[in-house]
Structure 1
Amino acid sequence: MPAVPEVLEMAERGLDRSDAVFLMKEADVFTLAKVADELTRKYFGDVVTFVNNVVINYSNICVAKCPICAFYRLPGHKEGYLRSPEEVAAMVEFFHRQYGVTELHINGGFNPFIAPEYFDELFRAVKKRAPHITIKGPTMAEVDYYARLWKTSWREVLSRWKEAGLDAISGGGAEIFAEEVRRIISPHKISGEEWVKIAEVAHEMGIPSNATMLYGHVERVEHVVDHLFRIKELQERTGGLMLFIPVKFNPLNTELAARGVVARPAPSTYDVKVVAIARLILKDRLKVGAYWLSVGKKLASTLLLSGANDLVGTMYNEAVLTSAGAQHNATAEELAAIAREAGRRPALRDTFHRILSYL
């Protein structure tokens, strides 16, 4: 079993895929966490950041039917909805005034009834009601779906959205890039290669993005490592990624659980290993998120000692992970307390990782 000095030397030299797979399989979880923490403090210091944001889903109607999702409703379902642009704008204005949010994180499903003008009106309505709000979203998968629905290109969709007020793209829809896994968990979404290509187009257009990885379902260690290297290589090509967010899969209320494919969430030791290996691979290229919404607030503090250095956001009004049993929102002070518990200095940031204030 490799010891801390050996793993640290490997990481500083630069891991290749086989090194990373070996460490995920053979290294002790505490060793990986300690090395990842050392690298995080070396490259980023002791500051842990997060944004004060609201999450609004413009629609839950989706034809993708992903077996990992507990949120979507098919067209015609009595619980399906499509929010009007004014409704979304009013919600953003409320959360801005009530809670001081600076970011709107907006996603939805693959809704076949949405016309191109809908997003024009939505983004403009938000900017009119709350001019200083940063709009982040939708996902690469939504860019592709609506480009195909409207018979246009990724670039045209992104250009139109940017002109209407979109500031950044959220990192969702990445899932796990390996096709053998995607065929099981999201068979009707874009491929991993397409996700990366859309990100490259967005970055080239001056639209930065996050990147996610959904783990803890049917993937193997090799798939996690491959995903992380593709994220690293994308960042080295474009520099357009702002944050890497590992998202833990919760099978509650999902088709994968109903079919008996995934019975329970992955153990917390696996969460630590995933975050730690992300730091060892990404090194100083990107911040790594401790996504408290998917792992819980207690474990998030541990992940801040295992390679993570961002708590993502307050996530007011989040509904997608919540539909699979996640906790709801957190206040800025709650997230600051998580950071302090790990001996870190909490800081409120904006979407683009500029620090607004230390807490």
Structure 2
Amino acid sequence: MSQITEQIYSSDVGDILENSLRNIQPSFDDTLRLLKSEDVHLMGMVAGHITQKKFGKKASFVNNIILNYTNVCITDCKFCAFYRSPGDAESYTLSLDQIEARVKTSWDLFKIRQVLIQGGHNPNLGIEYYEDAFRMIRKKFPEIGVHGLSASEIDMISRIEKTSTKEVLSRLKDAGLQSIPGAGAEILVDSVKDVISPKKITSNEWLRIMEEAHSLGLPASATMMYGHVESLSDIAKHFEKIVKLQEKTKGFMAFIPWSFEPNNTLMQKENLVLYGVGGMHLLKMIAISRLVFNGLIPHIQSSWLTNGVGMAQIALQYGADDFGGTLIGEEVVSCTGARSTELTGQKIIDAIHQIGYQVEERDNFYNPVQMH
């Protein structure tokens, strides 16, 4: 600790890091200064110290699958290489039997504890499709948590059904939905969304749907997709909006910063973003996430999906406490050709052990299942 203290005195963000060690929340201006600072290693040391104080030398993960139930989408986000327009030869939508088969195989082979359900904005799917799927999973596989549908997918269902998003959430919860992933947030600043996803819900709509979910007792993850057309000030605003909602609802279980992968996307074709921002940027985002959400959002995920296992190992020492999921069957990021986008539980266990940490397998709600 004394080694950290010496370095803090000479750092351009030393005062902020000192406050963080005293559990004082960074302000908007502090967050902006952290984002501008190059002192990533020191931020990581402080964030890592705060994380170890809370969790010890331990990291968690969940055995899960991603169920990308349809790639049919009418939202045409420029950062997505996964979607297909309705009627496209490569478009698909899984039937209830196909969903059951995938979940059953994953339970039999991997004893998964979570199914992460996400897909395109498919105008042909009414709410019963989702209700039937959730009911089936909860009834036949009671130990598997249903973590599903981004705020923008909820909005799409509400428009198809001509009802409120709160009514949709309430019905889906009754059918077996247990928590909401944070997708669709990207950067919660509309001038950014207007460039990368002009047809998607606005920042305020994302926040409102998340608040409705929290009010119904549906906890959620919050995410941030960085490394495209956003400014540092936009990132600071994103953090601030999530802080404000979390102070009000306490509904976010985890925060997941992940870097944009431009391969095969419209943003690359239009020369908006030519390549990803790289590992150092990830470590900075992980560290700042821990400092900003310290005492507010308990879990920070390591983001191995877009940055690889090696970076995720370092992220665990820079403020992350959770490795995330095995993501068997992932199809969205893999469409960018980024890298192999699934792991086995054993590979994650080995990766965490390699850095001298204990491994806790968890369930959908971050409760321990077993130690490895």
State if a TM-score over 0.5 links the two structures. yes
1:68 match? 79
CA displacement 1:214-254 (0-9 Å, x = unmatched): 11111111111211122222222111111111111100110
* Contact 1:84 1:122 (C-alpha < 8 Å) held by counterparts: no
Higher mean C-alpha displacement, 326-335 vs 72-81: 326-335
2:366 match? 353
In the TM superposition, 1:1-359 aligns within 5 A as 2=11, 6-11=15-20, 12=22, 13-286=24-297, 287-324=299-336, 325-359=338-372
* Structure 1 unaligned residues grouped into runs of 5+: none
Structure-1 separation of matches of 2:37 and 2:12: 10
2:6 match? none
Q: What amino acid does structure 1 have at the position aligned with 2:18?
A: E
**Counterpart of 1:66 in 2: which secondary structure?**
coil
* Contact 1:290 1:312 (C-alpha < 8 Å) held by counterparts: yes
Q: Percent identity?
A: 36
**Counterpart of 1:275 in 2: which secondary structure?**
helix
Q: What amino acid does structure 2 have at the position aligned with 1:70?
A: A
Residue 4 of structure 1: CA displacement?
7.7
Residue 5 of structure 1: CA displacement?
5.3
* Contact 1:58 1:83 (C-alpha < 8 Å) held by counterparts: yes
* Contact 2:219 2:253 (C-alpha < 8 Å) held by counterparts: yes
CA displacement 1:281-331 (0-9 Å, x = unmatched): 111322111010111111111111111111111111111111112322111
**Counterpart of 2:117 in 1: which secondary structure?**
strand
Residue 27 of structure 1: CA displacement?
4.0
Residue 347 of structure 1: CA displacement?
0.6
Structure-2 separation of matches of 1:268 and 1:323: 21
* Contact 1:4 1:35 (C-alpha < 8 Å) held by counterparts: no
Residue 108 of structure 1: CA displacement?
0.9
Structure-2 separation of matches of 1:180 and 1:3: 30
**Counterpart of 1:285 in 2: which secondary structure?**
coil
* Contact 2:13 2:37 (C-alpha < 8 Å) held by counterparts: no
Structure-1 separation of matches of 2:348 and 2:363: 15
* Contact 2:12 2:37 (C-alpha < 8 Å) held by counterparts: no
Q: What amino acid does structure 2 have at the position aligned with 1:353?
A: Y
* Contact 2:64 2:328 (C-alpha < 8 Å) held by counterparts: yes
**Counterpart of 2:152 in 1: which secondary structure?**
helix
Residue 340 of structure 1: CA displacement?
2.4
Higher mean C-alpha displacement, 333-342 vs 162-171: 333-342
Higher mean C-alpha displacement, 23-32 vs 56-65: 23-32
Residue 7 of structure 1: CA displacement?
4.1
Structure-1 separation of matches of 2:238 and 2:304: 21
Structure-1 separation of matches of 2:339 and 2:264: 11
Q: What amino acid does structure 1 have at the position aligned with 2:268?
A: A
2:3 match? none
Structure-2 separation of matches of 1:114 and 1:65: 17
Q: What amino acid does structure 2 have at the position aligned with 1:252?
A: N
* Contact 1:4 1:34 (C-alpha < 8 Å) held by counterparts: no
Structure-1 separation of matches of 2:355 and 2:12: 23
Note closer, same or farther for the CA distance 1:326–1:186 as it changes in structure 2 (3 Å cut). farther
Q: What amino acid does structure 2 have at the position aligned with 1:271?
A: L
Note closer, same or farther for the CA distance 1:326–1:233 as it changes in structure 2 (3 Å cut). farther
* Structure 2 unaligned residues grouped into runs of 5+: 1-9
Residue 19 of structure 1: CA displacement?
1.1
Note closer, same or farther for the CA distance 1:161–1:28 as it changes in structure 2 (3 Å cut). same
Higher mean C-alpha displacement, 59-68 vs 2-11: 2-11
Structure-2 separation of matches of 1:284 and 1:336: 27
Structure-1 separation of matches of 2:119 and 2:356: 36
Residue 194 of structure 1: CA displacement?
1.1
* Contact 1:253 1:323 (C-alpha < 8 Å) held by counterparts: yes
Residue 57 of structure 1: CA displacement?
1.1
2:4 match? none
Q: What amino acid does structure 2 have at the position aligned with 1:217?
A: H
Note closer, same or farther for the CA distance 1:139–1:327 as it changes in structure 2 (3 Å cut). same
Structure-1 separation of matches of 2:56 and 2:121: 40
Q: How many residues align?
A: 359
Residue 44 of structure 1: CA displacement?
2.8
CA RMSD of aligned residues (A): 1.5
